[in-house]
Structure 1
Amino acid sequence: MYKKTVLAIFSVIIFCSWSLQPKNEIKNAEWLIGTWENKTPNGSIYETWAKVSDVELSGKSYMLKEKDTIVFETIRLIQENNNLFYMPKVKNQNDNMPVRFKAKTASNNELIFENPNHDFPQIIAYSKINANALVAEIAGTKNGKERKQIFPMSRVK
């Protein structure tokens, strides 16, 4: 009886310590690291991602126009406790403050972030096609109409 009780207590302790470990979903997003290009009729749009720390990636989307870099947004992808947040900051929007989108999905092939209270988009998603291709997507409702924009991107070598 004593051995069964000790074994049961030991099993509970192991299970609890395993289940209390914080999720580290940011590791699932590291496939974003690098520079990605979306070719458009008006020129290429780039998105660059770098690892800042074990809990943060930083990104920016921009366009090159002659010798100038025009930055559209800066992004922080940050792990806070058990949650992963995508936080874009766009100049002259939202009082120049970042908007928080919480991860709904964070896997080695797909990242989906949502903020149902944001005007547009409410959903930001990345789908990995392969090591050198991904599709970024923004979606939601704007002025009562469903909208979606898709950005196929290739890794810049």
Structure 2
Amino acid sequence: MNRTNKKGLHMNKAKMTAAFAFAVLLTACLNRLSADEAKDNTDATTNAVATAPKVAIEQLGFLAGNWIGTFPGGRWESAYTTPEGGMILSSSKEFRGDRVVMIEFEHFMTIEGEVVLTPYPFGKKSSTTFKLTEFDEAKKRVVFANPEHDFPNTIIYERTKPNELVIQVIGTMRGKEVNQTMTLAPVDGGA
């Protein structure tokens, strides 16, 4: 094996090791979020949002899959797990050109009979939790809201077509109403 091949092999092993370490770290971080911690996050929104519809997290299975598409200013990739075990986990990357400029994880779970979403922008746990406020099973549309938060204060997920997931992030930035939309398609072409 010549020097170039050894270096290339070393880089591939390094990339694989880094990817594996990232996956282990993500799993460990999200596993540490107990129902008690998530309950603490919902205190600010407990009375702020009208009574949410009774929805089982399994009804959000339409999110599951690997998705890719556009976001204002760049490309977006997301992966959502199935709701098996009573929770959904997601990981997302935003690209500008070939460079990742933002990562985010999401944790969907049921607390005291209500489905909540806790984001981890830039991989860091947020103190903000969003409660499920609207659900339309026929349209495969779910709305999470936290009116106390500036941006976002509303996150909408909708399967507008069989092979399309649209995510809207709505709120106020610098005093102006902002509505950012991501239109995603399954990575493998089918959902």
TM-score, normalising length: structure 1:
0.72
Alignment of 1:126-137 (within 5 A): 126-137=157-168
In structure 1, the residue matched to 2:111 is 80
| CA contact 2:105–2:123 (8 Å) conserved in 1 | no
Structure (1 or 2) with the greater helix fraction: 2
In structure 2, the residue matched to 1:61 is 92
Structure (1 or 2) with the greater strand fraction: 1
Q: Distance in 2 between matches of 1:144 and 1:43?
A: 24
Alignment of 1:1-157 (within 5 A): 23-39=54-70, 44-51=75-82, 53-63=84-94, 72-91=103-122, 96-108=125-137, 109-157=140-188
In structure 2, the CA distance between the partners of 1:153 and 1:146, relative to structure 1 (3 Å rule), is: same
| CA contact 1:114–1:122 (8 Å) conserved in 2 | yes
| CA contact 1:24–1:79 (8 Å) conserved in 2 | no
Unaligned runs of 5+ in 1: 1-22
Structure 2 letter corresponding to 1:79: T
TM-score, normalising length: structure 2:
0.60
Runs of 4+ residues over 2 Å off in structure 1:
39-44, 51-54, 63-66, 68-71, 96-99
Unaligned runs of 5+ in 2: 1-53
Q: Distance in 1 between matches of 2:174 and 2:145?
A: 18
Q: Deviations over 1:42-91 (max 9, x none)?
A: 6531010013643200001114776x876610000111232011111113
RMSD: 2.5
- Whose Rg is larger? 1
